[in-house]
Amino acid sequence: MSLSLLIKDEFKGFYKSKVMLVLWIGMPLISLLLHYFQPDTEGIPLSILVGLMVSSLSGTLAAVMLSTTIVSEKDRHVYDLFLIRPVKRWNLMFAKLIAVYLCLVIAIFLSVLVGLLLDLIKLDIPPETLLDGIWDSLAISLSAMAISCSISILIGILVNSTMLAAILAIYVGNQLSLLAVLPGIFFENINTVAYATIIGLIFTILVNTATALVLQRRSL
């Protein structure tokens, strides 16, 4: 009960933030702008290009926001009000992860949808072929974001400076999330959807298990 309530609650908080406003409105806008100002995408459909670009940009933004928010809230003892109620520390952090991830998923779907509509108007590629490519792009994007967001939560818990948290989220979280992206790009005979999904799942579970273990010993 408390977890679902916390997820809803955190989701409300994140979607009201300026970062999410940028992601939900700014990212689909990038699709449109790319279409008008950079129409030559060297044969890559706009929907796929936008999916990958949004995952990288919004993943970084969200990861930085997550880690710095946790550091700042820890510093202001925001969690004390929750932890004196039947709420587990892990639930608080997991709710944040799910809420941010949901916000990112919405941002990606909105951007890809705009890209897809433009592709359907502009390109002669049959919709089935276009959708195949989009699944690859979505699998990579969603996996990369799950990894970087999970690492950001761990960073936020372990670090006490917002500056350091932001730097680590960019240089550790975001770089590690490339594990889900690069092989699919460099090796042609890899099933990108399966690879990205499995790597994303394994890393997300590992990092979150580590977070849960840390939270058993560490107060927020």
Partner 1 sequence: MSTPILTNPSKISTPTENLLELHNITKQFGDFFALNDISLTLKKGEILGYIGPNGAGKTTTMKIIVGLIRQFEGTLYLNNHPLSKTQNEIYQFLGYLPQDVGFQTWRTVNHLLDTLGRLSGYDPHKLPERIDEVLQIVGLHDVKNKKIVHLSGGMQQKLRLAQALLHKPTFLVLDEPMTGLDPSSRFQMKKVIRQLAQQDITIFLSSHILSDVQDIADRIAIINHGKILNIGTPQELQAKFHVGHEIEVILSEMKPDCNIIQKLPQVSKVKQHGKLKFVLTLNPDVDLDTALQEILHLLVSNECIIRNFNLLQPSLEDVYLRYVEEDE
Length of the chain: 220
For partner 1, the binding residue among 40, 86, 186, 189 (CB under 8 A) is 86
CA distance 14 to 19: 8
Q: Give every CB contact of residue 175 below 8 A, 6+ residues apart in sequence.
A: none
Nearer to partner 1, 23 or 130 (CB): 23
* Amino acid identity at 179: L
Site string (133-152) toward partner 1, x via CB under 8 A: --------------------
Only one residue has tokens 């990038």, namely 30
**Cβ at position 72, least distance to partner 1 in Å:** 8
Tell whether the torsion through CA atoms of 47, 51, 52 and 56 is positive or negative.
positive
The answer to whether 150 and 211 have CB atoms below 8 angstroms apart is yes
Under DSSP, is residue 108 helix (H, G, I), strand (E, B) or coil? helix
Stretch that binds partner 1, among 2-10, 35-43, 149-157, 192-200 (CB under 8 A): 2-10
**Cβ at position 100, least distance to partner 1 in Å:** 14
For partner 1, the binding residue among 32, 87, 102, 172 (CB under 8 A) is 87
Tell whether the torsion through CA atoms of 127, 130, 136 and 141 is positive or negative.
negative
Residues 25-84 that bind partner 1 (CB under 8 A): 73, 75-78, 80-84
For partner 1 (CB under 8 A), the number of binding residues is 25
Contact residues toward partner 1 (CB under 8 A) are: 2, 5-6, 9, 12-13, 16-17, 73, 75-78, 80-88, 216-217, 219
